[in-house]
Structure 1
Amino acid sequence: MREKITQQTRELQQSNGGHIFYEYESIEAYVRNTVSYIIAGIEQGDHVVVIENDRVYPLIHRELGKELNSDDMKKVHRVNNFDFYCFKGDFNSETVISYFKKFVEPFIENSISIRTWAHVEWADKEQITYYVGEYEKEVDQTVIDFGLTTVCAYDKSRVPVHLRETLLSCHRYYMTDDEVLGISEDYQIMQKIG
């Protein structure tokens, strides 16, 4: 899988970025794929912003420590995903997008190439699926505007069918624990409509 991630992200980097929906089922595969994405980014000259929770990040950090030297580890920038998505107490797409832009703009202004990996989580609320969908639509435009490559990772067991459909329509690429697939058919349809 590491070769697939490296190849796909190299292609995305050359084509002005991309927005990837990663639907994971296995936490072990999730950690492996996150590490592969980070290493591919560093090998391609990027800094990597990792938006992750306090339970999973230590697993990622430990695996990175086995493969990266201290200079490379300085290129990994971790943001707690709860702080990121609930910046003002709840998941508000406008607030999260504003926070995201403020976080990545210094890299862009200083011509530092970056990519992001975001583990999107939320409390069990019915309305949250609407807000997540609206947020992802805005992220897609931001990714295009900034020319970023970003992965938005979701636990498959927590994604209802209607949210999955929305996520497929606002991410150019789709990824599972074992595959990195090309441009999403749903995304292409939405681009023609929109």
Structure 2
Amino acid sequence: MTDDIRTRLDAVERAVADGETDLTNLADAASVERRLTAVEERLDALEARLDTLDATTQAVRGYLSGVDGVTEDVERQAALALAKAEAVEAHVFDADEGLAVERVPATEGRSADRPDDEGPGGQRRDTEPTGPTTDVDTNVGVDRPSSGVLDAARTERESSLVARLRDAL
């Protein structure tokens, strides 16, 4: 039965082409058409993928420029905070000793009519700390004797300055 169909098909081809046209080229043309259609479909898929990648790249670039902007803002805020801290430090700290000049109330632990170095009963008070305490001078890197009330105030002030800087950043 297959031979019968083939014979009939050949007869139809001869009738259509009048026997002068080579029909093998038609088969090749159909094959080329199928390949061309497949290539066009693949090209469309690749163009869609390229558009998606382009959109993703633009989104990443936008994100990175936003991160750069935030980084610049943080750097600017840090520079401002550092400048303010240095200005406060220059204003508060004595340049010769590196210690803050603070006012201690005159009534704290002594009477206003007694000299500073006399205790109750006119006896001379010990002006040095009772224990061998030392503070590390962060500016120089050497130990120095503790100065009591000034050190407590200085420590409190420095910790609050650090806290403010941490909060600012």
Compute the TM-score of the two structures, normalised by the length of structure 2. Answer: 0.18
Larger radius of gyration: 2
Q: Name the one with the larger helix percent.
A: 2
Higher relative contact order (CA 8 A, sep 6+): 1
Query: What is the TM-score of this pair, normalised by structure 1?
Result: 0.16
Greater strand percent: which structure?
Answer: 1
